Amino acid sequence: MKIFPFRPTAARARRGPERPPRFGADIREGFRALSWRRAGLAVCVVSAVTALYLPLGSNKFFLPAEGQIVKEDILAPFEFPVLKDEENLQREKEEEARKIHPILRVSDDATRGNELRIREFFLAVERIIDSEADVEEQHRMMGEVGVPLTESARNVLLDLSSESRIRREAIAFLQEIFERGVLADKKLFSDGGHDRVTLVQEGEEYTLGLDNFLDRREVSIETTDRARAVFGDNRALGNAFYETVVQLAAPNLFYDVQETERRREERQAGVLEHTDIYLEGQKIIGAHERVTRNHVNVLRSLERRWAEERFETSPWQKIYPHLGRFLATLTILVLFVVYLRRQRPKICEREGYLLLLATIALIGIGLTALISAFGLSLFLAPVVFVAMLATLLFDDHVGAALTGAFVFVVALVEGLPLPLLFTLGVAGAAAVYGVAGLRERRRFWNSLLYVAGAYVVSIGAADFLHLSPGMDTLRKMGFGLLGALASGGLAMIFLPVFEGVFRVTTNVTLLELSDLNRRLLKSLSLLAPGTYHHSIMVGNLAEAAAERIGANSLLARVGAYYHDIGKMTKPEYFVENQAGGENRHDRISPKLSALVLIAHVREGLEMGRKERLPGEILDAIREHHGTTLMAYFYDKAKQLAPESDIPEEEFRYPGPKPRTKENGIIMLADVAEAATRALVEPTPGRIRQRILEVTNAKFMEGQLDDCDLTFRELRRIQESFVPILTSAMHPRIRYPDEVKREEGRSAIGDLFGKPPRRV
């Protein structure tokens, strides 16, 4: 559930679309941005994963050195192949791979595309010639055809007779070179030691020399020769012909890298990796014999085979598995961090969030290691625990990314088979989907049903696919359902703990804060009833607008409920609480009035901190006025002291400006509700016009510069306000006695009524 402003800032958006950074550049930027603490956190995570899978015991097998005399027979403990020397094996594989020629494919689509481009070019030239435009305009039109030519070539082609001759010769020549075949560059093959290639055309394969084809350089040479042969000494026609052909001669032969590599890999796979096979019990070295180089090669093959059987034979082979786990975990961690930097940069900026994600992942991996250590089924792996917590504490995108990273780490360190990997991935995805945007506790139990269904379907699908359904399938389903239930329970236990320790606001917290019977909102309704009803109305507007643009509607509504709680300290100084009575601001100076209004933000923050409101709600209190100028009191101060230089800063709210979409919506809803309530005759047309005026004014003042609202979203926000405020401000039916009283007042005048005064 999204509670952070994860998108780029408005300042970046104003610079226009940018090319996304390349993957490598993003990684380098990520490492530059890492602090020592973040780097230490990454090392701790990877080291912890590696440490969880340290072996509890070991077996050792020592090799005798060359020239050493063995004291007793060394027999083969099991059947094993005698592997070739790595260098010789690699050399044999390279020799076999070189026997596969590069594969070229004739692209009929490319040929037809080239021919179509040629026809379209000459048709465009003919249209330009037939036009009545002047020479300068014709040159400009030639430049828009898409074939770059020099001015002299354009002059020649704009002559009808020259164009006809060049067209005829160019089309004939291009057809000839396309029939031979055009490559991008032969140097790619000659540098690799290949002077022959395999041509694939219409299902047939031919082995031909490279000299049967042309590349761009050879096309240029042959075009020059053809120009001299056809046009002789007429250099103008020859140059125009040369430029036209060279620009239109695109390749129609393409190097099929994948097929070439596949065939080479198949050829290499056919190379035997061993020279001999020792059977179990066969003597390798007899007692009292000298160890030769051949014996060492045989024993090394035995060592490798022994390592594959999970026996440790040397210090390095003790390190290899752990080093592999370390590197695999580090790779997945780097990919996850790169994803966060590009999609959720706000998380990377806060070390507390990174620590929270690391804690969730380590708990999940630790529980998995514990399950494995006790020999339990890995269908009990807590993938649902990780998925639910990450989604509830952040959002579904982060939840899906962390779940994927967790599943891959567990698969690598545990060596999971593909069916189990598939099952855990499907269960994690179902858990993310089930709790995404959770606003009701009932939906949590529904999510467990989704996860249960995911386990049943994925396990059944894998077993049916391998033609092995049976009682074992039911047993695996039972473990999966048990793991889902246990993981869900653990997630609900850990959720409030993580919320409190890491100060993360989830939808569950926001739902609790939206209860109108909470002490702070209850006090607001009693001490400042006008402000209370105004806040409820702003909350409805903000929620509707947030839903229209895809922002966090619950956060917007709850932030609106609390945005004006600071008015409780001096409610009589705010117009919504005056009920047509005396305006306190008439008795104090404009500067003091401004200080009173500014104070409600500061006092609201103090109240919020005492109530331990989340940071997102405190930001809504702090930012809902931005740096708006209190124009009424500023103008009043200038009228009272026309000759004085009164600084605007004294009559501006301290800010900051809204930095999230939700806080920007609250600002607009606040000003729209207040402005429409002040209308004398709130007709639908006037309400719409007033909403547009005040919200556009906020944009023109630059109050929305720091949040990433787009023009389209601003328009949708304005449209969402109109029906709500129109229905709230509709005129009620006047009763007959009221009509009579108003008619009497209009006849003799209202001697007692006072026009309401508003701030």
587 falls within a domain? yes
The pLDDT of residue 310: 53
What CATH number does the domain containing 548 carry? 1.10.3210
The pLDDT of residue 316: 60
Which tens digits make up the pLDDT trace of 613-659?
Answer: 998 999 999 999 999 999 888 888 888 888 778 888 889 999 899 99
What is the percentage of the chain residues whose pLDDT exceeds 90? 30
Q: Half-sphere exposure of residue 754, counting CA atoms within 13 Å on the CB side?
A: 8
Are residues 719 and 585 both part of a single domain? yes
647 falls within a domain? yes
Are residues 616 and 640 both part of a single domain? yes
544 falls within a domain? yes
| Parent domain of 586 | 514-733
Q: How far apart are CA 188 and CA 207, in angstroms?
A: 17
Are residues 620 and 547 both part of a single domain? yes
Are residues 331 and 186 both part of a single domain? no
The pLDDT of residue 220: 87
91 falls within a domain? no
Are residues 475 and 519 both part of a single domain? no
561 falls within a domain? yes
61 falls within a domain? no
Query: Which H or E run contains 277?
Result: strand 274-278
Q: Are 68 and 291 in contact (CB under 8 A)?
A: yes
The pLDDT of residue 315: 57
What is the total count of domains within the chain? Answer: 3
Which tens digits make up the pLDDT trace of 226-283?
Answer: 888 888 888 888 888 888 888 888 888 888 888 888 888 888 888 777 778 888 888 8
Which tens digits make up the pLDDT trace of 451-502?
Answer: 999 999 999 998 888 666 778 889 989 999 999 999 989 998 998 899 888 8
Residue 301 sits at φ, ψ, to 5 deg, of -65, -40
The domain boundary residue, chosen from 239, 255, 271 = 255
483 falls within a domain? yes
Cα torsion 328, 330, 332, 335: sign: negative
Are residues 566 and 633 both part of a single domain? yes
Are residues 477 and 543 both part of a single domain? no
The pLDDT of residue 609: 93
Are residues 718 and 664 both part of a single domain? yes
The domain boundary residue, chosen from 233, 255, 277 = 255
Are residues 580 and 692 both part of a single domain? yes
Q: Are 22 and 275 in contact (CB under 8 A)?
A: no
Are residues 414 and 328 both part of a single domain? yes
List Cβ neighbours of 37 (8 Å cut-off, separation of 6 or more): 351
409 falls within a domain? yes
Residue 214 sits at φ, ψ, to 5 deg, of -120, 145
Residue with structure tokens 């993981």? 487
The pLDDT of residue 547: 94
Which tens digits make up the pLDDT trace of 366-399?
Answer: 999 899 888 788 899 999 999 999 999 998 999 9
The domain boundary residue, chosen from 491, 508, 525 = 508
Q: Which ranges of the chain have pLDDT less than 50?
A: 1-23, 27, 30-31, 33, 56-61, 311-313, 739, 746-759
Are residues 328 and 346 both part of a single domain? yes
Are residues 500 and 531 both part of a single domain? no
The pLDDT of residue 430: 94
Tokens standing for residue 643: 């000759």
The pLDDT of residue 160: 81
What is the three-state SS of 65-123?
CCCCECCCCEECCCCEEEECCHHHHHHHHHHHHHCCCCEEEECHHHHHHHHHHHHHHHH
